[in-house]
């Protein structure tokens, strides 16, 4: 089999570049996510260093990256623990929807968009990026913090809500009727409920099969099963990230520890591809006119997510610093906002540059704010050291 020289060269340069950026981020004491996003902006078509041969690999790797990030996040919890957390945080999710969709809906109305455009922009400002936040919590070693279950509950409820929201938006954008959208909602709700019930009822059987003592078998079984479940989730209009998260919940104890160890290098590789791909989707020349509106929406989005996270963490009894960490962790927007605009962007051209600029701003600044917020006022705390309230 002949592998194109250009592909190998471009991919090698990308990996070396990401390695250097990661080392720079560690030296500066910040998460590497913003630097990866900026690198993606620089590497797009017609920019500093286009990567036509490796571009498709990066896009495919990005999809795998989101799946692996949410899989490893699910490994931190059991199904029973997380089901309890979800029930506790339904009020947090309602607050999240009301506060964070409102700025987008208001902006859509001021821009003169029709109902579909208003609903689309409201969704784009509402939904946080599960992929970015999952990596951020790992980078900052906050997975064991008291406020983290509240953050994850809000994220997963958002992802479940996308199973209802996206089919409705797709039907309306295509000119369908409300009764068609209602049928899509009922089907999505039934599928989500069945998925949760199956994970809770039969998850231990899956765990026994996946937890093979041989590391190679463990990696192949867990990765293969996760990708199949993620694909099935997408088939029934549930996020692939949710499917991967449910697989992670089925593995507990020693099996979860060994899975984290064998999948960590793959997760880091494909997660970097995910962040790079968001930057590749950005065309800077189109963003300049939309920048003032995007800045205003980003400022509102930062404030509303911080308030949402603070209230959610307070429900779990987190202290003041823990509530601040929870709020700032939720700031980043990403993949779902891009998907939403992909559904209606041709009908509302003004939305594509606006939401792209909005996502770039919050995907870049969100991890930085999360890193610097909630630290002790004394000496700087290394990113690797978790702090509990």
The answer to whether the beta carbons of residues 250 and 79 sit under 8 Å apart is: yes
CA distance 242 to 195: 10
CB 233 within 8 A of CB 63: no
Rounded mean pLDDT, 305-312: 95
Mean pLDDT of the region 5-13:
86
What is the structure's pLDDT at 59? 86
pLDDT band at 168 (very low <50, low <70, confident <90, very high): confident
What per-residue confidence (pLDDT) applies to 305?
96
The pLDDT tens digits for 23-80 are 998 888 778 888 888 888 888 765 667 777 777 888 888 889 888 988 887 887 777 7
For 74-92, the pLDDT digits (tens) are: 887 777 777 777 788 889 9
Q: How far is the C-alpha of 148 from the C-alpha of 142, rounded, in Å?
A: 7
247: nearest Cα among 221, 216, 275? 221
Residue 382 confidence class, pLDDT cut points 50, 70, 90 = very low
Listing DSSP states for 75-119 in one string gives TTS-HHHHHHHHHHTHHHHHHHHHHHHHHHHHHHHHTT--HHHHH
pTM over 0.75: yes
What pLDDT, in 10s, does the model give residues 201-251?
666 666 677 777 888 998 999 999 899 988 887 776 667 777 788 788 778
Confidence of residue 345 (pLDDT cuts 50, 70, 90): low
* pLDDT confidence band for 191 (50 / 70 / 90): low
Q: Residue holding tokens 């290098």?
A: 265
| Token pair for 329 | 């962790």
Tell whether the model's pLDDT for residue 147 goes beyond 70: yes
- Write down the pLDDT at residue 161: 81
Q: Report residue 160 as tokens.
A: 């479940």
- Domains (ranges, CATH) in the chain? 59-372 (1.20.1530.20)
Q: Which two tokens stand for residue 238?
A: 């549930």
**Residue 150 neighbours by CB under 8 Å, 6+ apart:** 85, 89, 92, 309, 312, 313, 315, 316, 318, 326
């Amino acid at each position: 089999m002949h592998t194109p020289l250009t592909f190998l060269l471009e991919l090698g340069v990308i990996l070396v570049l990401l390695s250097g950026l990661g080392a720079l981020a560690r030296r500066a004491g910040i998460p590497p996510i913003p630097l990866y996003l900026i690198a993606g902006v620089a590497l797009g078509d017609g920019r500093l260093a286009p990567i036509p041969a490796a571009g498709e690999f990066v896009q495919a790797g990005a999809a795998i990256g989101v799946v692996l990030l949410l899989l490893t996040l699910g490994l931190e919890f059991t199904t029973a623990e997380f089901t309890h957390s979800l029930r506790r945080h339904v009020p947090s999710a309602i607050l999240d929807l009301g506060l964070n969709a409102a700025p987008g809906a208001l902006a859509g109305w001021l821009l003169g968009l029709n109902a579909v455009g208003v609903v689309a922009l409201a969704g784009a400002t509402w939904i946080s990026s599960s992929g970015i936040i999952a990596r951020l919590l790992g980078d900052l070693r906050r997975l064991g913090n008291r406020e983290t279950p509240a953050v994850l509950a809000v994220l997963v409820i958002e992802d479940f809500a996308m199973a209802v929201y996206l089919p409705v938006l797709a039907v309306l954008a295509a000119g369908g009727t409300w009764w068609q959208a209602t049928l899509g909602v009922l089907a999505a709700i039934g599928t989500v409920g069945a998925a949760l019930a199956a994970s809770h009822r039969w998850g231990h059987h899956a765990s026994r099969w996946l937890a093979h003592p041989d590391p190679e078998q463990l990696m192949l079984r867990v990765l293969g099963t996760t990708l199949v479940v993620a694909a099935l989730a997408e088939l029934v209009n549930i996020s692939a990230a949710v499917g991967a998260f449910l697989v992670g919940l089925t593995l507990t104890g020693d099996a979860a520890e060994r899975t984290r160890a064998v999948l960590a290098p793959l997760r880091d590789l494909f997660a970097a591809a995910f962040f790079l791909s968001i930057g590749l989707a950005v065309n800077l020349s189109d963003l300049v006119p939309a920048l003032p509106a995007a800045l205003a929406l980003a400022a509102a989005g930062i404030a509303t997510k911080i308030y949402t996270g603070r209230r959610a963490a307070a429900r779990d009894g987190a202290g003041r610093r823990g509530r601040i960490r929870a709020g700032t962790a939720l700031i980043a927007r990403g993949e779902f906002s891009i998907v939403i605009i992909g559904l209606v962007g041709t009908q509302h051209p003004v939305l594509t540059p606006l939401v792209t600029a909005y996502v770039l701003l919050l995907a870049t600044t969100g991890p930085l704010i999360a890193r610097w917020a909630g630290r002790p006022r004394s000496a700087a705390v290394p990113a690797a050291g978790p702090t509990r309230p």
